[in-house]
Amino acid sequence: MVNCVVKNWEGQEVGQATLELKVAKEENASHIVHRALVRQMTNARQGTVSTKTRSEVRGGGRKPWRQKGTGRARAGSIRSPLWRGGGVIFGPKPREFNINMNRKERRLALRTALMSRDADLIVIDSFAEKFPRPKTKELVTALTRWGVEPEAKVLLIVSEKDENLYLSARNIAKLKLISADCLNVYDLLWADKLVTTSDALAKIQEVYSE
């Protein structure tokens, strides 16, 4: 169980919140989180890179010169991999990089990664009403009041995305805005600080408790 201090928009402590999720055993935790991270990064690869073999390169159907008598090395095609403009030997072809992982293992890895960041978790009262219009400067100032370092990478977790909040956050270089039901291992480990609203924390407890 993780006990968190809840802060308001001004950065003052206004209450307490708890988060209790089932995590992996200590001896297996790093292994399962690593597997989930490798899976996510590998599955993000498009696998669309492609090269042409000598049979796919245009031209080269005619023998460039006769077999014997010229003094030159024998050659059967100008599209040989040895020639400039020829095919590629063992070059990459489109392929699938996907790695499979059981759903229960993925969710266990996600819960373990989240609970391991308890020291970097900051819980804030709902502040959507603070953005009647997009204002990046107000969000940057608020992050400072909440104890986030100016150069820190921040993952801002909300219960549901608000358009004005999204427009305010998108120009902050090291800040990612994400919904509570769309968490992933990479973002949880990437961030230096996790900032979540109390509503989002309750949604995390509801969505990931099993």
- 28-85 pLDDT tens trace: 999 999 999 999 999 999 999 999 999 999 999 999 999 999 999 999 999 999 999 9
Looking at every residue in the chain, the average pLDDT score rounds to 91
Six token digits for residue 93:
């072809």
Q: At 15, is the pLDDT very low, low, confident or very high (cuts 50, 70, 90)?
A: confident
The Cα-based distances of 191 to 131, 149, 152 in angstroms read 24, 12, 8
The Cα-based distances of 76 to 58, 71, 81, 88 in angstroms read 15, 15, 12, 16
Prediction pTM value: 0.83
Helices (H), 67-134: 103-115
CA distance 202 to 24: 21
